[in-house]
Amino acid sequence: MDLDAFAWLLTDDGQRLLARATEMTDEGSALAVQTALRKDETAEHVAAAMTQVDLRRKAGAKFGDLAPKMYFTPDGLEQATRLAVAHHRAARLRAFDAASVIDLGCGIGGDLIASARAGLTAAGVDNDPERVAVARANLDALGLPGAVTVADATAVDHSPFDVAYADPARRGATGRVFSAEGWTPPWSWVETLFARDACVKVAPGIPHDLVPDGVEAEWVSDRGEVKEAALWSGSLASTHRRATVIGERGLATLTSEDDPGAEVGAVAEFLYEPDGAVIRAGLVTAVAAGVQGHLVDEHIAYVTSSASFETPFARGYQVLEELPYREKQLKAALRERGIGKLTIKKRGVQVVPEQLRKRLSLSGSAEATIVLTRVAGEGTCLLVRPF
């Protein structure tokens, strides 16, 4: 990003160009808009405006109605926390009576925005001048207080703040970095934060054995998608493992204290597919306990029960019947039932749904859902109906 062009974009003239570019892009192609705008503006200014128009459109999924007012960089948007998740995190800080937080690697300021909106005194640092400029512009654009500066997160004195928050970059020049020590800052530095009240955002695939003793690991999903894990230390840690599910009707949370364990048994009348955050947190048996049920297999994240429950932690299905698991017999059974549109759920079996659906050569007007999984170690096909 051209910092001079971005700074100009924040001026009155730049704002007029950005508004014009947005309006024209809503009505025509980006290429045609660029060509038209370059008749009156420099190529650098037009490029800066068009970049923001494109990124604001993409940012709608993460930032909702705030996106049209905000500014982004491509990598900053990719790494930014979804706003609903950031708001949850800021609310947790307020619930623990935190008054101030420092964001050690603030990126474009997504978490700073959530913290400021929650009433926390928020400050951010980042070693990238572009991201700092964008973060500062975002706070200003939304009328929020907060300070942002260019600095090395690992060299900043964070002790004056109640909470230290970090979101280590997990992408390098060659793509995603899977080793925690390869993060920026590295895991060895992240561990030093756990000596105080801190929160660190990490990838949802973080191994459980990497989480230090006394640190709470929370996996968060938003509308069915697992978005991240967060590690909470000091007085902010209240359990060992937690799954938090954010949905249309609010937020629900499940912890290791809610998990008495569960047995394995036969498939009953209802089947439950736990949310991804629940699975990542290793709390599938807590869902089984919650629906008064049991597991279908000790290695498979499906729960079954003779009772029908509505739970935010799993999607429920009524089991209609068991169909043949072998492909030839399954094809005949589906044809006999006139099923032409088929949703295929699978877990614990080597099946590619798209390829299987093609081989089944479906025909008919009926719709159905099948679950391919293992029950007591055996391949099983269940015809189910979603709640």
Domain end, chosen from 61, 85, 104, is at 61
Which of 96, 51, 103 has its CA nearest to residue 81? 103
Asked if residue 84 belongs to a domain, the reply is: yes
Tokens at 51, concatenated: 């970049």
**Residue 265 belongs to a domain:** no
Q: How many domains does the chain have?
A: 3
Q: Which residue has the tokens 């729960």?
A: 303
Average pLDDT over residues 248-259: 94
**Three-state DSSP class for residue 255:** strand
Residue 66 maps to a domain:
no
What distance in Å separates the CA atoms of residue 117 and residue 91, rounded to the nearest whole number? 10
Q: Are residues 90 and 220 in the same domain?
A: yes
Token duo for residue 44: 């650098």
324 and 182 together in one domain: no
In three-state secondary structure terms, 226 is strand
- In the block, tokens 């405006």 appear at 49
Rounded CA-CA distance 295/287 in Å is 10
> Using alpha carbons only, what angle is made at residue 1 by residues 117 and 173, rounded to the nearest 5 degrees?
95
Per the listing, tokens 């990542």 go with: 280
Q: 121 forms bridges with which residues in the sheet?
A: 100
pLDDT grade for 344, boundaries at 50, 70 and 90: very high
What does the pLDDT average to over 226-242? 97
Task: Output the domain CATH number for residue 98.
Answer: 3.40.50.150
Residue 66: left (phi > 0), alpha (psi -120 to 50), or beta? alpha
Q: Are residues 244 and 172 in the same domain?
A: yes
Q: Are residues 214 and 315 in the same domain?
A: no
Cis peptide before 185 (omega within 30 of 0): yes
Q: How far out from the chain centre does Cα 167 lie?
A: 14
Answer yes or no: do 101 and 237 share one domain: yes
Strand partners, 375: 378
Same domain, 105 and 225: yes
CA distance 110 to 262: 39
CA dist 163 and 58 (Å) reads 31
In a shared domain, residues 244 and 108: yes
Which DSSP letter does residue 169 get?
Answer: B
Please report the pLDDT score of residue 172 as a whole number.
60
Residue 55 covered by a domain: yes
48 and 97 share a domain?
A: no
At 4, the pLDDT band (50, 70, 90 cuts) reads: very high
* 282-297 confidence digits (pLDDT tens): 999 999 999 999 999 9
Whether residues 196 and 295 share a domain: the answer is no
What DSSP state is assigned to residue 236? G
User: Which pLDDT band, with edges at 50, 70 and 90, does 182 fall under?
Assistant: confident
Q: Work out the average pLDDT over 193-215.
A: 96
The confidence score (pLDDT) of residue 179 equals 78
Residues 51 and 97 occupy one common structural domain: no
**Same domain membership, residue 100 and residue 25:** no
List alpha helices for 118-268, DSSP H.
129-141, 187-193
Domain boundary residue, one of 14, 34, 61: 61
In this structure, the number of other CB atoms found within 10 A of the CB of residue 169 comes to 15
**How many angstroms separate the CA atoms of 74 and 71, rounded?**
10
Question: The domain containing residue 111 runs over which residues?
Answer: 77-252
pLDDT value, residue 169 = 83
Give start and end residues of each alpha helix (H) in the chain: 3-9, 12-27, 30-37, 43-63, 74-79, 83-95, 110-117, 129-141, 187-193, 276-280, 284-290, 327-336, 353-360
pLDDT of 27 reads 78
- β-strand partners of 115: none
